[in-house]
Structure 1
Amino acid sequence: MAAMDTQEPPRSPTVAMGLAEADATMVVATSHGDCEKLKDLVHKQDPTTMLVVMASCKLQASPTEKSSRASMHPLVAAAACRGNLEELRFLLNRGRQSQTRMASGPEAGVTNILKQLNPTSTPDISQEFLNQATAYSWGNTTNTTSAMGQQATDAADVEQGGTNAVGGVTVEGDTVLHLVAANGEAQNFLDCADFSIHGLEKELLSKENNNGDTPLHFAARAGGTKMVSHLIALARARGDRIVRQLLRKVNKREETALHEAVRIGDGNIVKNLLEADRELACFPRNGGTSPLYLAISLGRHKTAKTLHDESGNGLLSYSGPNGQNALHAAVLQRPVLTRMVLEWNTNKDLTTKKDKNGRTPLHYAAGLLPVSQLSACSQALASIWGRQSVFSEVFNANTAAVYEPDNDGLYPIHVSASAGATDAIALIVKRCGGSAGLRDAKGRTFLHVAVGEKQLKIVRYACRNRSLAWILNMQDNNGNTALHLAVQDGSLRMFAALFGDRNVNLNLTNTKGETPLDISRYKLTRGTTFYYQTSEGTIYFALDFARALRSPYHRDHYYRHQNRGQQIDIEEKEMENMKDSTQSLCVGSVLIATVTFGATFTLPGGFIADDHANGGTPTLAPRYAFDAFMMANTLAFILSSAATVLLLRSGSPYPSIRSRSLFKNIAVKLVDVSVTCLVGAFALAVYVVLGPVARRTATAACVLSAIVVICNHADLWVPFAILEWAFFARYGTHPSLLMLLMWPFALVAPVMLFAFWPVLFSLLWAYFGRHNPIAVLKSFLGTLLHPLLS
């Protein structure tokens, strides 16, 4: 309540007549609490106080109160939903009579209603309805009095809010006509609609619920073609202006009834609405979601065509939410929609429109997933729909859009590189070659983006296209080339694609003074452990072998500064890696030890019976391969058990980080060797059993067992296979052959020799164990020196 004191307040001439001159206070009531205070002032017995009420108004309930309070009787709602005209007429007519008679006395109104509640006076009313009416206290005078009084009070409250007082509203603010329109379109529902308009209140046709929906919205949403036509006819009876107002009325989502018809895909309702108003497809006019945009975003081709064909003189809105238009939505759907929208938009202005992020439809088309990356089924559908032509359709409509950046400075070619759309980039480069060097806000070309997003196909395309050689060494705002980013990311395949192009400079420095070799060298020192099979190690080996240069910028100071700044982070990461790797390695080593322990006492071939000579000993013990099997199995058990012990030590928190790292590295090597021993033991056991009877099968099993060892060391030969062709492309035949020889002897051969030594040792042990070692050695030396001595 607000009070305002004035020195010379205005006085009403009528009130001031015959009264002494006195100061007055203006009191304005703005809420229920203020009304209570105003009531207290009226009851005060103060002869010197004059209260002047200058104006009065009805206080409307807040939207929250209106939406949370229902005044429609359940029987009225049930009759409207069933489309029962007799029950609806009875309830609403009697309800109005009861409200009228409540003024003279509620008992009289109730008595008259009770007299009419019998089957003889209401032959069209079912006994079930009468029972329901009795269940709602219509048969008890006292309860009926209070119920009808409350109904009249609720009706009065709702009437003050501007809603139908006779039928009331639901919790969502739906009137009787809303319920009728939403639940059917049979003749009985059409009759109920007529009764609601002509028998109750004409304004029900345009009444809105709490969401702003009219009965026409409800009818269109329910797919009631007849009901929509009937409501339009009822509105036309009141004039064409009323029809346009009804059709163009938008709800709180800024949608007309046409939007509801488009959403459910009912072409008949769409036609009926557009026939009634040819300009309806232009609404809303404030740039919201148009019916055409909604139809295209839902992929409804026929509905979109109906909107275009039925709209008069091309009066069709293409607008969408967040600044988008129908072409933005079309490029994400089937190509037929894209071609259709481009045909309608003759001046091609839709291709220049941007959404709230500054992206044109060409940005959207450039980000489509390439067909080559889709599944086989999706590729078949894409070939049928012409998915590959979506980008070309939009691009050919306006090639200048290629040079239009979004709010982040990304051009369509950057979006294509991020999505891996090689075909789109190829088309852009072919038609607009200069656009290949466009930079985003970070100074990146599309090649930088492709490397950052790990789009290998885009990188390979750029390296193989001779016309793009001029962008291979372009640097971003940090001075990084695409090669810098590939080395920093540690992607061997990405590095090999760039390294294999002779136009890529290996010695450019960025703003920090780092060359690709500097970055590669630094990545090797980023941990206390170095696993030589990593991609970082292979990249460094390739750059060093290619005689790439290091930066002259204080290398010792640089590395010392970097290591000192990263030391704490390095140790934390190393602890996490060690914790995870120790658990997995320990499981593997324990599994190998368990298998080899069981194989020791479950020997191939079984044992000799106790009643024979040497009873209890292995049956196949006299064979050479059996001795080799036992030695390989023993080595596998010993090495895996030793690895388990070391892994337990590396997982303990008491040793230093360097000691734990050393234990883990040794355990890794032992596990690798124990895997080789286990595979060798398996091959020898197969040979022992099958050798005498199926030598070829036994030999094949032994050879195939080597696949496990090869896969166990795949990180040695796979990088070599990836880099070999890159060396050949950059340096030609002779340096590549040199690398082909150096790689096995420098790295692969020592590792493989270390991995296979237990198998060689097992075979030699089996041989020397069955012969006199001295005699065997003399015989070997004699054979070797005989040509020299003779």
Structure 2
Amino acid sequence: MASSVQTSHSEDDDISSESSGEEEQTTPLSAQRPNAPPADAYVVDISDEKGDEEGDGEEEEEGEDENGEEQENEDEEEESNNNSIPRSSMEGSRSSTGAPTQDPTDNTTDPRSNHGVEPEPNPNPDPPAENQSSILFNSTKKKGLLPVQVVLYQAAIKGDWKTAKSIFDVDSSAITMKITDGEDTPLHIAAAARHISFVENLVGKYSSDNLAIKNSNGDTALAFAAASGVVRIAKVMVDKNEKLPNLYNNSKQFPVLMAVAYKRKEMASFLLSKTDFQTLDEFEQIELLISAISSDYYDIALDILTKKPELAKARMGLRDANGNWRENSEGETALHVLSRKSDVVIGSSSKLSFWRRHMNSRFKRFYKKAHMKTLAHQTVERIWNFVVKNLSKTDLYLFIKTPSRLLHNAASAGNAEFLIILISSYPELIWKVDDDDKSIFHVAVENRQESVFSLIYEIGGLRDFLANYYDHKKNSNMLHLAGKLAAPYHLSRVSGAALQMQRELLWFTEVEKFVVSSYLQMKTKIPLPPQAPGIDENRFEELTPRELFTKEHKSLLKDGEEWMKNTANSCMLVATLIATVVFAAAFTVPGGNDDKSGTPNFRQNQAFTVFVITDVAALVFSTTSILTFLSILTSRYAEDDFLMSLPIKLLFGLVTLFLSISCMVVAFSATFFIAYDKTKQNIPLAIAIVSIVPVVCFCLFHSKLVVDIFRSGYWAQFSLKKHKKRLF
């Protein structure tokens, strides 16, 4: 779209002009409003054929509710065109304002001024526009004045460089104009909108000092680019002004920190390489390190630790409302943030295996997650080794328990690899307990973390001492922790309330093996709710571990019974339908029977043999499935039934149901091979392939349930008793 810009400087209160003979023209302001445009307005001509077509297309999409308004606009335009004069007659007769002028001696009446009748003055004229930049659009769709800020904002957010350039050509100061309430410049908006070409063109017009212009929040355009994540935009700015990466906003945040906070990894790596790290305050350095670890950018964290290893033991400071830092003896450390990571973040090794390194070298980032796990392992090792070497024993113990006990944090999150790294190099840590005399294994039982609790099998006879620590205040031991109901997050790891009940029983029975026999009868005090609201009563109930388990799991036991019955009812209904179908098929064999001997006519066909075998098998398996699910429905549903009996029955019933469905599908397909035995058509083969769909669906929909049942049955062998030594 061709654009031209002219500066309009009005000296009179009104501007009168004659209309041109073309379809789109500058509408005289006297016909629109009694006041003249402001002296600093811009007249932008965007009229051309393409614009006309686009305008017409937009008007057609307005909808039927605007037909009346469109018809009125068309009548006005037609009248204007009929009475217009050629544009050539207006050339050479423009005032310094850029608007067409009239000869003072010319008595010709304006064709659109009510046919010679002077219009009545507007009783409510608009106030004169002062100190405001505006745009006068020369098109059918865009008539009247628009602020320059609006036009520049629209151009920047859409990446329309042609429109923006037409304004910059008239007023070069517009490149740094504040175009939003937040005092953002066009460069701020374009960088946030990720328009690379627009930014490159605009930066070419900027000086290095202009790139440091900040908005009301103190953010430069580079800060917006850091949040957008487009490295090319940031590079073109930094190449022109190398000081930009070290400029703060009002909250004392710098661009690389914003890139990490918005999880723009490539941008964060680029800006870190361009930031003068040593000029940052130590509190800002530790903030950047902790932010990188929180975002799982361990390569950046290792780079920061390489620049300043002392940050391994540094604490996060406190920042006031003005963004000023002060020391905090209970601030977070990088190691505390790492301790709260999940069990899948930190790898078991500090480097990839040979074949994974080979694949990564051939295919970039083929094992990106595995590589990041090894970097996380290296980060923990580097921080911990520095802390152990540079802190005394007293300071070390204070370090690991302030602001929270990082060993217990890791045990609660299931971060076994973190614990392995720390304890393997400093074995004394395994004896550390919290204020309630809980070891890391007590916390693992409380939070149902198998990966952490499995480490107890690697410490030999020491486990008998650690497992028998108990809370002297509440008189509760590790078995009481196993008797409490797990959090919903931990229960949801397995499918269905019945299997969740089984998992809770497995935990209780496994912990029961470690505690001494006297702990089985130890009673802990459980607070009871007040008998009446508003009455403060200190009422307690003393319960053994088994009594506590029964009380805590009463609701889950009921839900498990209901879930098991509903599942058994549904599966038994399907098994009954299959048994009915295959039983009837046995007496209506395909091809019928011989009238004299009564034997099947296709008994010599191999497909008939397959049909008979699979039909009988389907009947046997479906009947077995019915009886299995019936035994589930008639079960007594005691606590111990959920441990092995009910899950095994459910697993056996699902397997026999699957086999009955598979045999029924094979028998069904075999009948078509019999019917089309003497033809060369591929219909039986196509039917056999399609018949696999229900079998595949059954496998997909019930695979997780079957796997959960199987794993729960052998949970101790799968999750706890690891054969590979990892701790010592």
TM-score with structure 2 length normalisation? 0.52
1:255 matched to 2:219? The reply is: yes
1:463 matched to 2:426? The reply is: no
CA distance in 1, matches of 2:278, 2:294: 25
1:291 matched to 2:260? The reply is: no
Alignment-derived partner of residue 391 in structure 1: 380
1:274 matched to 2:245? The reply is: no
Q: Deviations over 1:183-224 (max 9, x none)?
A: 7697996674253246xx8xx735241243123423544342
Using CA pairs under 8 Å that are at least 6 residues apart, name the structure with larger relative contact order, 1 or 2. Answer: 2
CA distance in 2, matches of 1:510, 1:324: 50
Q: Which amino acid aligns with 1:230?
A: K
1:508 matched to 2:481? The reply is: no
- The answer (yes or no) to whether the contact 1:228–1:269 under 8 Å persists in 2 is yes
CA distance in 1, matches of 2:382, 2:308: 13
The alpha-carbon deviation at position 424 of structure 1 amounts to: 1.5
The alpha-carbon deviation at position 464 of structure 1 amounts to: 0.9
CA distance in 2, matches of 1:583, 1:250: 66
CA distance in 1, matches of 2:272, 2:616: 84
Alignment-derived partner of residue 14 in structure 1: none
1:196 matched to 2:161? The reply is: no
Alignment-derived partner of residue 48 in structure 2: 128
The alpha-carbon deviation at position 512 of structure 1 amounts to: 3.6
Q: Which amino acid aligns with 2:452?
A: I
Q: Percent identity?
A: 16
Q: Which amino acid aligns with 1:396?
A: N
The alpha-carbon deviation at position 584 of structure 1 amounts to: 2.5
Q: Deviations over 1:109-132 (max 9, x none)?
A: 12278799989xxxx978629989
Unaligned segments of structure 2, at least 5 residues: 27-43, 56-72, 85-110, 138-143, 320-329, 487-501, 527-541, 605-613, 668-704, 724-728
1:449 matched to 2:437? The reply is: no
CA distance in 1, matches of 2:655, 2:573: 13
Alignment-derived partner of residue 111 in structure 1: 17
CA distance in 1, matches of 2:480, 2:46: 86
CA distance in 2, matches of 1:191, 1:293: 36
- The answer (yes or no) to whether the contact 1:429–1:436 under 8 Å persists in 2 is yes
1:666-681 map, 5 Å: none
The alpha-carbon deviation at position 286 of structure 1 amounts to: 2.7
The alpha-carbon deviation at position 283 of structure 1 amounts to: 0.7
Alignment-derived partner of residue 371 in structure 1: 347
Alignment-derived partner of residue 474 in structure 1: 469
1:362 matched to 2:335? The reply is: yes
Q: Which amino acid aligns with 2:596?
A: D
CA distance in 1, matches of 2:653, 2:710: 13
Q: Which amino acid aligns with 1:590?
A: T
Q: 1:338 aligns with which of 289, 296, 301?
A: 301
Q: Secondary structure at the match of 1:111?
A: coil
CA distance in 1, matches of 2:544, 2:453: 31
Change (3 A) 1:365 1:717: closer
1:215-226 map, 5 Å: 215-221=186-192, 222-223=195-196, 224-226=199-201
1:611 matched to 2:621? The reply is: no
Q: Secondary structure at the match of 1:371?
A: coil
- The answer (yes or no) to whether the contact 1:420–1:457 under 8 Å persists in 2 is yes
Task: Decide which structure has greater helix share.
Answer: 1
CA distance in 1, matches of 2:434, 2:419: 16
Q: Which amino acid aligns with 2:418?
A: A
Q: Which amino acid aligns with 2:279?
A: G
The alpha-carbon deviation at position 435 of structure 1 amounts to: 3.7
CA distance in 2, matches of 1:317, 1:467: 46
CA distance in 2, matches of 1:454, 1:645: 33
1:232 matched to 2:207? The reply is: yes
Moved more, 436-445 or 210-219: 436-445
1:212 matched to 2:183? The reply is: yes
Q: Secondary structure at the match of 1:601?
A: coil
Change (3 A) 1:350 1:187: farther
Alignment-derived partner of residue 59 in structure 2: none
- The answer (yes or no) to whether the contact 1:608–1:619 under 8 Å persists in 2 is no
CA distance in 1, matches of 2:295, 2:113: 66
Q: Deviations over 1:352-372 (max 9, x none)?
A: 117999643323323152336
The alpha-carbon deviation at position 350 of structure 1 amounts to: 7.9
Q: Secondary structure at the match of 1:325?
A: helix
CA distance in 2, matches of 1:417, 1:610: 77
Alignment-derived partner of residue 101 in structure 1: 12
Alignment-derived partner of residue 526 in structure 1: none
The alpha-carbon deviation at position 291 of structure 1 amounts to: 0.6
Change (3 A) 1:484 1:638: same
Q: Which amino acid aligns with 2:562?
A: E
Change (3 A) 1:630 1:165: closer
1:69-80 map, 5 Å: none
The alpha-carbon deviation at position 592 of structure 1 amounts to: 5.8
1:341-740 map, 5 Å: 341-345=304-308, 347-348=310-311, 351-353=314-316, 359-366=332-339, 367=341, 369-371=345-347, 380-382=367-369, 384=371, 386-387=374-375, 388-398=377-387, 410-439=404-433, 444-466=438-460, 469=463, 470-475=465-470, 479-486=475-482, 491=503, 494=507, 504-508=515-519, 512-513=523-524, 573=559, 576-577=562-563, 579-591=565-577, 593-594=579-580, 597-598=583-584, 601=587, 609-612=594-597
Alignment-derived partner of residue 48 in structure 1: none
Q: Which amino acid aligns with 1:370?
A: I
Q: Which amino acid aligns with 2:333?
A: T
Q: Which amino acid aligns with 1:381?
A: K
Q: Secondary structure at the match of 1:424?
A: helix
Change (3 A) 1:341 1:479: farther
Change (3 A) 1:111 1:493: same
CA distance in 1, matches of 2:337, 2:556: 41
Change (3 A) 1:125 1:175: closer
The alpha-carbon deviation at position 617 of structure 1 amounts to: 13
The alpha-carbon deviation at position 508 of structure 1 amounts to: 2.1
CA distance in 2, matches of 1:395, 1:423: 13
Q: Deviations over 1:717-773 (max 9, x none)?
A: 99589589999x9xxxxxxxxxxxxxxxxxxxxxxxxxxxxxxxxxxxxxxxxxxxx
The alpha-carbon deviation at position 640 of structure 1 amounts to: 7.5
The alpha-carbon deviation at position 338 of structure 1 amounts to: 1.0
The alpha-carbon deviation at position 514 of structure 1 amounts to: 9.6
Q: Secondary structure at the match of 2:168?
A: helix
Q: Secondary structure at the match of 1:284?
A: coil
Q: Deviations over 1:7-48 (max 9, x none)?
A: xxxxxxxxxxxxxxxxxxxxxxxxxxxxxxxxxxxxxxxxxx
CA distance in 1, matches of 2:619, 2:190: 84
Unaligned segments of structure 1, at least 5 residues: 1-81, 237-242, 516-552, 621-628, 687-710, 730-790
CA distance in 2, matches of 1:724, 1:637: 31
The alpha-carbon deviation at position 178 of structure 1 amounts to: 4.8
- The answer (yes or no) to whether the contact 1:258–1:270 under 8 Å persists in 2 is yes
Moved more, 446-455 or 424-433: 446-455
The alpha-carbon deviation at position 442 of structure 1 amounts to: 6.8
Q: Secondary structure at the match of 2:206?
A: helix
Q: Deviations over 1:373-399 (max 9, x none)?
A: 999998933555542313223333445
Alignment-derived partner of residue 164 in structure 1: 133
- The answer (yes or no) to whether the contact 2:475–2:525 under 8 Å persists in 1 is no
Q: Secondary structure at the match of 1:352?
A: coil
Q: Secondary structure at the match of 2:207?
A: helix
Moved more, 714-723 or 379-388: 714-723
Q: Which amino acid aligns with 1:294?
A: M
Q: Deviations over 1:256-289 (max 9, x none)?
A: 21212334223433424633xx3762411533x4
**C-alpha RMSD over aligned residues:** 6.5
Q: Which amino acid aligns with 1:271?
A: V
CA distance in 2, matches of 1:578, 1:423: 37
- The answer (yes or no) to whether the contact 2:256–2:272 under 8 Å persists in 1 is yes
CA distance in 2, matches of 1:600, 1:484: 58
The alpha-carbon deviation at position 460 of structure 1 amounts to: 1.4
CA distance in 2, matches of 1:112, 1:182: 36
